[in-house]
Structure 1
Amino acid sequence: MSSPDGVTKHDEKYLVRAIRAEEWPAVRALRLQALRDPVAHLAFLETYEAAAAKPDSFWQERAIGAAEGAAGARQFIAEDPDGGWVGSVTVLVEEAGTIDWAGTPVERRQGHVVGVYVRPEHRGCGLTEVLFDEALRWAWEIGAERVRLIVHEDNGRAQRFYRRVGFLPSGVTVPLTADPEANELEYVLVRP
């Protein structure tokens, strides 16, 4: 269930909401934690070292844009009862007629899900689904025709989850520059 301000309760245990601009230190901390996950090399296109080296101004700008949604992004987090951040998902808006991060033309207004992370001790309880529900609700509200995500070909756990919540492989592959022998696979969900 979602309220008008984008806050969702999940089993009265978690609060899912959009981040606020002043929460940039928590945005940074959760991202760095995600990049230390054992499968981070399959899940993220960034290393811990690269992210940790970024100045505070980077994290401040990132949080401002993802809090307001005005910069073409919205980040949602899950809080535990003590206010600790235990999960996150971000939706980037890609406009028709632009070029995406991989150099491919964008044909329609779409959401692009990135930065999916739930702390290991909170996985398997349905929290990721609730994060996705909130992210997708926002994408549809802003007029996205579809939502896509890119997943490493060896990340079977993530692929199974994405299929379970309705995403399907589009057949598009994106070669990785860091590992020319590996690919990322595009999964899409068309507006209901």
Structure 2
Amino acid sequence: MSEYRIHLIQPEDADRVRSMRLAMIQDTPMAYLETYEQALGRAPEEWVLRAGRGTRPGSTSYAAVEQATGDWVGGMNAYVPEDAADLAWLVGVWVHPDHRGGKLGVTDALLDAVIAWARDTARVPRLLLEVHEANARAIAYYERRGFVRTGGTVPYPLDPSAWELEMELVLG
């Protein structure tokens, strides 16, 4: 992981957040709850708000930055919902295809940062996520990291004929 650093995203990172979000959606459209066109049409102020989400209490947002180039090559976010203080949701997970794989450690470093935040700052006992049923690579990764399927499902908002599977990691 020494080739990368984990960066806590700030409001001034809005342009980078926008670029990464557009890349995320182009790479794995089924993994996100908006289309490329919707994201492309968002006003600059929306990107500043999104970049600032992780700085608010009950929320965090991280980017993996390649040391040599300064490129953002991945991101992960989490938040504690207002109606359930005993859990955090993992959202907006993505790593650029050139930086995926266990040997590089980018995804693990991002998830480790989120888990540390959930345990030490948010102080929640569990981390939940929803993953598209057809995203086998993501499901396999989460299972390797100890997430288990809860049995919960919700229709995928952009195609209600598909499902999002709920997975949980008990932080202990």
TM range, smaller chain: over 0.9
> Going by fraction, where is helix more abundant, 1 or 2?
2
Partner of 1:53: 41
Report the secondary structure of 2:158's partner residue. Answer: coil
Q: CA deviation at 1:30?
A: 0.5
Q: In the alignment, which of 46, 56, 60 is matched to residue 74 of structure 1?
A: 60
5+ unaligned residues in a row in structure 2: which ranges?
A: none
TM-score (norm 1): 0.83
Partner of 1:3: none
Partner of 2:89: 112
Q: Following superposition of structure 1 onto structure 2, how do residues 121-140 of structure 1 map, counting pairs within 5 Å?
A: 121-124=98-101, 125-140=104-119
Partner of 2:17: 27
CA distance in 2, matches of 1:30, 1:183: 25
CA distance in 2, matches of 1:177, 1:14: 33
Q: Is the contact between residue 132 and residue 156 of structure 2 (CA under 8 Å) also seen in structure 1?
A: no
Q: CA deviation at 1:93?
A: 1.3
5+ unaligned residues in a row in structure 1: which ranges?
A: 1-9, 99-105
Q: Deviation per CA, 1:136-160, whole angstroms, max 9, x where unpaired?
A: 1001111112100000111111100
Q: CA deviation at 1:179?
A: 2.0
- Stretches of 4+ moved more than 6 A in 1? none
Q: In the alignment, which of 131, 138, 154 is matched to residue 151 of structure 1?
A: 131
Query: What is the number of residues matched between the two proteins?
Result: 168
CA distance in 2, matches of 1:183, 1:32: 23
CA distance in 2, matches of 1:111, 1:20: 20
Letter in 2 for 1:128: T
**Closer, same or farther in 2 for the Cα pair 1:27/1:177, shift >3 Å?**
closer
CA distance in 2, matches of 1:165, 1:35: 24
CA distance in 2, matches of 1:51, 1:116: 16
CA distance in 1, matches of 2:92, 2:53: 15
Partner of 2:161: 181
Cα-Cα RMSD: 1.3
